[in-house]
Each structure stands twice: as C-alpha cells, then as structure tokens.
Amino acid sequence: MNASAAVAAAVVPAAGRGERLGPGAPKALRELGGVPLLVHAVRALARSRAVGLVVVAAPADGVAEVVALLDSHGLDGKDIRVVAGGATRQESVRLGLAAIPEDVEIVLVHDAARPLVPVEVVDAVAAAVRAGAVAVVPAVPLADTVKRVESNPGGPEPVLDTPDRATLRAVQTPQGFDRATLAEVHAKALAEEAAGGTGVPPVTDDAGLVERFGGRVVVVPGHEEAFKVTRPLDLVLAEAVLARRRAADAY
C-alpha cells in the first residue's frame, strides 16, 4: 500500500430528513450546542490522523448550503467535499463513494447523525481495516433484552423468540471497509434492485451489504457516546454529553 492509499477517506451520509426527530430542518443541519450535527460529525472524523478526505452526501437541494456551512465553521483547512445525496441512505453512501479518488484504499462510512463519536473509535476502525479486515464495525453490548416478534402494528405482537443477549451487539459508525469490497457490494445491491429486488428485508448498514454478499465483517469496541441522534430524547442526551465535554476541557 502506498502512502496515499494508507490514508482513509470518509463518506458522511447526511441527506436524510430526520422524520423521527420531528418537524424542522433536515436532521444533519439541526443544532447541538449551537453547531449543526453535520459539523460535529465532520470534525470528529477530521480529528483523526487516519482520515485524509471527507465526502459529505448532502440533501440534493442543499448542497450549496452545506458547502457554505462547512466553510463557515473553519473546516476549510481539511480536504472536504460535498456531493448531492440520494433518496435512501444506501444511495447517499454510493454517491459519496463515487467521489473518492481511485487510489484511496480505505473508506469509512459515518452517519452525520452520530455527532459525538470519540476519535479513538475512528482510529480503531481505520486501524483494523489497515491491519487487513475488509469490513469493520464498532459496536456495544445491549442493555435491553431483545425479542423477535410477529409484526402487528398497533396491536399485540406475538413473541417468536428471545436471542441470547450475550451474543448481540448494537452497531454504530464509522464502519470501515476495504474500498474495493465496499464499492463491489454497493454495485451488486444496485443491480439487484434494478432487477426488481430479492424480497429479503432491506439492509440498514453498509456492513450488512458485505454480509449479504458473503463477506467477513468484524466488530471492534464502539463507545456509548457514538449513539445516533434519532428521536428528540437523543438530542437532550447529546446536549448533556457536549456540555460535560465543554466543562471538562473547553471542548
């Protein structure tokens, strides 16, 4: 691997609406401590020496706004590019990936909605890919017991079974990949969709695509502060975590 190939590029899908967060701006542009979630997320990646380039997949109608936003937050010293995202997270990642130079061999994919990921997690994921894994996910053990149910929205749902919690992990981002592997599974998924789909449930993360096509995925320790801002209560928690960091070290 040459020097530029050893430096990772990161794709940040940021084109979602944030329906579950409630009415307001697109989620990536909602503020945490006065700074948009997206800016926090890009800073968290840029802080890692493993990351040389960040490609943001912005809402298709908000590319110019996102470029201006990143400039105004002093991120112009790093190599940061903005492309238009797509209708699904998977499409946004695929479009971001297409904007990464050919010689980059390690790609991280990080949700704009995970603004507080510690740099240690970013470094650990990139290091595991550099050490030879084709797909790496940071993850944490679950606090709750999980049950599989027969879906019956609005009504009682019969329980099918209860997986052994000790074997379950909640996965986070950034997820790290050998670039060729990630590009290949995204291309295969696109071809499947074009052919009318397969009837299997949709894959909700990039590592899931690697699994779907038979690749090996490994887990490294994640961090409780890498949680995803999904619902209003998550924003309350994120504000509290940020306030604690700012109090601790003038963050």
Q: Does 13 bind ligand CTP (CB under 6 A)?
A: yes
**Long-range contacts of 83-88, Cβ-Cβ distance < 8 Å, separation of 24 or more:** 83/55, 83/56, 83/57, 83/58, 84/15, 84/57, 84/58, 84/59, 84/60, 85/13, 85/14, 85/15, 85/57, 85/58, 85/59, 85/60, 86/15, 86/57, 86/60
Q: Does 130 bind ligand CTP (CB under 6 A)?
A: no
Which of 1, 17, 101, 149 contacts ligand CTP by CB under 6 A?
Answer: 17
Q: How far apart are CA 22 and CA 128, in angstroms?
A: 36
Binding residues among 227-246 for ligand CTP as defined by CB under 6 A:
228, 230
| Shortest distance, position 2 Cβ to Mg ion, whole Å | 37
Tokens describing residue 129: 């890919």
- The listed partner (ligand CTP, Mg ion, none) that binds 18, CB under 5 to 8 Å by sort, is ligand CTP
* Residue whose C-beta lies closest to ligand CTP: 16
Which of 7, 11, 15, 106 contacts ligand CTP by CB under 6 A?
Answer: 15
Q: Does 118 bind ligand CTP (CB under 6 A)?
A: no
Binding residues among 3-42 for Mg ion as defined by CB under 5 A:
16
**Long-range contacts of 16-20, Cβ-Cβ distance < 8 Å, separation of 24 or more:** 16/89, 16/92, 16/112, 16/113, 17/59, 18/113, 20/230, 20/231
Nearer to ligand CTP (CB atom), residue 27 or residue 130 = 27
| Shortest distance, position 218 Cβ to Mg ion, whole Å | 25
Q: Which residues bind ligand CTP (CB under 6 A)?
A: 13-20, 27-28, 57, 85-89, 92, 111-113, 228, 230
